[in-house]
Amino acid sequence: MIGGVIMILVAVWLYQSALKAKTSNLLLWVAVGSITFFVVQFLLVDLNVYLLEAVRSGETSVGYEAIDGADRKNVGGFQGFGGVLESLFFELFPPFAGVVAAGLIRVKFITKEAISLTTIFGGIKELFQGIKESFKSPEK
């Protein structure tokens, strides 16, 4: 769910950047950046599932899963402060990595600027300002 909302924001961010840079094939680059975001997020979510299963598989036995159910094997896994941090990392890292990948596409092919931390995330402030302005009613 979080990734879907962020993907929509990334598509709008790329579209605004391409409009500002007067890029030819505007929709093509928005699609390429959005697909890049999706692929990176998809691969990292799959990696997260693989890592979680690898970590959790040593905690229980097959007999326990057969008797009490596989849904109980993670009962104590994400408790406490460390568990909260682990959950946040596994939930937020894939979309963040997707944003960075889309930002690299934006910098390299849309705006054609030098790659730096500020250029990768450039235009995000304007994105949210534009969204904020869209909710204001027109003056009469």
Inside any domain, residue 139: no
The residues, any chain, with a CB within 8 Å of residue 43's CB and separated by 6 or more, are: none
Inside any domain, residue 53: yes
Inside any domain, residue 55: yes
Alpha-helical regions (H) of 58-113: 62-68, 80-105
pLDDT tens by residue, 39-74: 999 999 999 888 877 766 655 555 545 555 555 545
Is the pLDDT assigned to residue 1 strictly greater than 60? yes
Which residue range(s) make up the domain with 65?
2-134
Domain count, the chain: 1
Inside any domain, residue 81: yes
Residue that the structure tokens 């890049």 belong to: 36
Inside any domain, residue 74: yes
pLDDT tens by residue, 67-126: 555 555 455 566 678 778 888 888 889 999 999 999 999 999 999 999 999 999 998 999
Inside any domain, residue 100: yes
The residues, any chain, with a CB within 8 Å of residue 57's CB and separated by 6 or more, are: none
pLDDT tens by residue, 13-42: 999 999 999 988 899 999 999 999 999 999
pLDDT of 64: 46
Query: Which string of DSSP letters, residue by residue, matches 20-76?
Result: HHT-SSHHHHHHHHHHHHHHHHHHHHHHHHHHHHHHHHTTS-HHHHHHH-GGGTTTT
Inside any domain, residue 140: no
The residues, any chain, with a CB within 8 Å of residue 15's CB and separated by 6 or more, are: 26, 30
Inside any domain, residue 23: yes
